[in-house]
Homo-oligomer: A and B are copies of this chain.
Amino acid sequence: MIADYRDGYSLEQPFYRSPDVFERDMERLLTRRWLLVDHESRIPDKGDYFLFNIGNESIIIIRESDDKVNALFNVCRHRGSRVCLEQQGNKRLLTCPYHAWTYNLDGELRPPQLMPPDFDRSRFNLHKCHVTVYHGLIFVCLSPGAPPDFAEQYAPFDEMMDFHGFGDAKIALKRDYPNRCNWKLVVENFLECYHCAPSHPEYCSVHPPDQLLALGAGPGSGPEEAMEKYQPILDEWTEKTLAMGHPVPEFERDEHSLDLAQLSRVPINDRNFASETRDGKPGCKKLMGKFRECDHGETAFVFNPTNYILAFNDFALMVRFTPRDAINTDVQFSWLVHKDAEEGVDYDTDNLIWVWDVTTKQDKQITENNNAGIMSSRYRPGPYSMHEARVAAFIRWYLNAIRLPA
C-alpha cells in the first residue's frame, strides 16, 4: 500500500481505519518521536504528577525535584496494575493501589513485602520513559530504545523559545476535544487553511484572506504566487520587528526529517492586532518573555505534526494531538500566559480562547465528517490543492516514517 501511494493525493482508506495500520503508526512513528505532553507549571511541587495517555499506554509524568521531572510507565511491575489512577495529583511515593508495591519518584522499587528470597528488586523498577524539559515544556519519547537527540533536533528553536519565555509561563486554561477519527485526519486538518474560509468565520475575522492564502497553515502551506503577493507586507513587518530587536526566525525541515519541524513568525494581520483576540486588543496585560512592546506578531512552533505552539506577545497556545485508537484522537489545547499574570486582572480566559475554542469545535465536526465519508467503498484518494502543500508534505513524511524497518 505504501508503494502504491500516488504523490499529491490523500491516503487510501485502510490508513484511516485499520487497527493494523494504527499499530504500525504507534510502533514505527508515534512511540519513537519526542512528543510534547504539557507545560511543567502543571506540576510545580515535588510529587505533583499527571498522566499522559496515548494508545494503550499511560505515562506518569512526575516531579522529583525542582530540577527533575520523571516519566514512568504506569504499569506496576508486580501484576501490571495501573499505579496512578487519577489523571493528576500529588504523590510522596508511587504506591500501587493493588498490593502496595512502592516506588520512589524515579521509579525505583522499594523492598516489597513477602517476596521470595531470590527476588532481585533491581529488576523491577517502573519502566522509564524518556523525558526532557525544554523551556518549561515537557517532552517524552516512549521508545524502548534510545530516543532521537533532542538538543540537536530542536536547537534551531532555542533563541525564539527563550524570547517567548515559556520557561516562565503558566497554564491559564486547558480544554479537551475528543475527535472520533484517525489521528492523521486531525493533523491533515491542522496543516492547511484551504478549509478556513468555508469553515471558520471567527478565525477568518482575525486573519485576512490574502494572508490565509499565502501562509494560513504556515510558510509553504499556500500557493507560491500568493506568497509572492503577500511578501511586501511580510517584509515591511519583518523590518519593523527586527528593528525592535525581536527575532524573526525562519526554519523548516523536510519530509525526510525526524520531525517535519517548522518555525516562523508573521504578523497576525494587517490591522495591527496586538493579539489573536476578537477585537485585537491584548489577551493578557503582562507580556511574555522578552517582549517589552507589542510587535503584532505570531510565532508558530511546529515541533512535529502532532505538537504545536502558536505564540503571541502576550499569550500562547499549545496544541497536542494524541491518538487513542485507530479511529479516536484526543485533541488538547492549553493556553499559556506569563506566570505572574492573574486571571480576572491581567487576562480573561473567555477572551484568550475565543478564536481557537470555536475553531477547534468546528474542526471536530469536520474531521468526523471526513472520517465518515472515507468509510465508503467509493472513497478514493483525492488530489491536494495548491493550498494544501503542507498536508502533502506531511503524508510523504508519514509514509517515510512507517516504511522504515522495525
Identify the A interface with B (CB < 8 A): 8, 10, 31, 56-58, 73-83, 85, 95-100, 112-116, 119, 124, 127, 188, 194-195, 197-199, 213, 223, 365-366, 369-370, 372-380, 382-383, 385-387
Nearest opposing residue in chain B for A100, CB measure:
B198
> Are the CB atoms of A382 and B79 closer together than 8 Å?
yes
In the bound complex, what is the Cα–Cα distance between A85 and B199 (angstroms)? 14
Q: Please indicate the chain B residues that have their CB under 8 angstroms from the CB of A113 in the complex.
A: 194, 385, 387
Distance between Cα atoms of A56 and B379 in the complex (Å)? 11
CA distance A303 to B22 in the complex (A): 42
Contact of A198 among B8, B73, B99 (CB under 8 A): B99
The 3 A-B residue pairs with the shortest CB-CB distance, nearest first, are A100-B198, A56-B375, A80-B374
Interface pair B97/A386, CB less than 8 Å apart: no
Complex Cα gap A369–B114 (Å):
22
In the bound complex, do residue A112 and residue B385 qualify as a contact, i.e. CB atoms below 8 Å apart? Answer: yes
CB <8 Å contact, A376 and B81: no
29 contacts between A and B (CB under 8 A): A8-B116, A57-B378, A58-B376, A74-B376, A75-B376, A78-B382, A78-B383, A78-B385, A79-B188, A80-B376, A80-B379, A81-B369, A82-B370, A85-B365, A97-B365, A97-B366, A99-B198, A100-B197, A100-B198, A113-B387, A114-B194, A114-B213, A114-B223, A114-B385, A114-B386, A114-B387, A115-B383, A115-B385, A124-B383
Q: How far is the CA of A150 from the CA of B8 in the complex (A)?
A: 40
Told that A77-B382, A114-B385, A115-B385 touch, could you supply 19 new A-B pairs with CB distance under 8 A?
A: A10-B79, A10-B80, A31-B377, A56-B377, A75-B373, A75-B374, A75-B376, A79-B382, A80-B370, A80-B380, A82-B369, A82-B373, A83-B373, A85-B369, A97-B369, A98-B369, A114-B387, A116-B386, A119-B383
Given contacts A78-B383, A378-B127, contact A199 B56 (CB under 8 A): no
Say how many copies of this protein the assembly contains: 3
Nearest-Cβ distance from residue A10 to partner chain B, whole angstroms? 5
State the CA gap A194–B80 with chains docked (Å): 15
B378 and A75 form a contact (CB under 8 A): yes
Neighbouring B residues of A127 by C-beta, 8 Å: 378
Q: A56-B376, A376-B74, A378-B73 are in contact. Are A98 and B385 (CB under 8 A)?
A: no
**A366 touches which one: B77, B81, B116, B376 (CB < 8 A)?**
B81
Give the complex CA separation of A377 and B143 in angstroms. Answer: 11
Note all chain B residues with C-beta closer than 8 A to A124: 382-383
Q: Report the minimum CB–CB distance from A140 to chain B (whole Å).
A: 13
Please give, as numbers and ranges, the residues of chain B lying within 8 Å of A58 by CB-CB distance. Answer: 372-373, 376
Contact A373 to B57, CB < 8 A, known contacts A195-B98, A223-B114, A387-B114: no
Q: Considering the chains assembled together, what is the distance between the CA atoms of A77 and B10 in angstroms?
A: 10
Q: Pick from B76, B95, B383: contact of A116, CB below 8 A.
A: B383
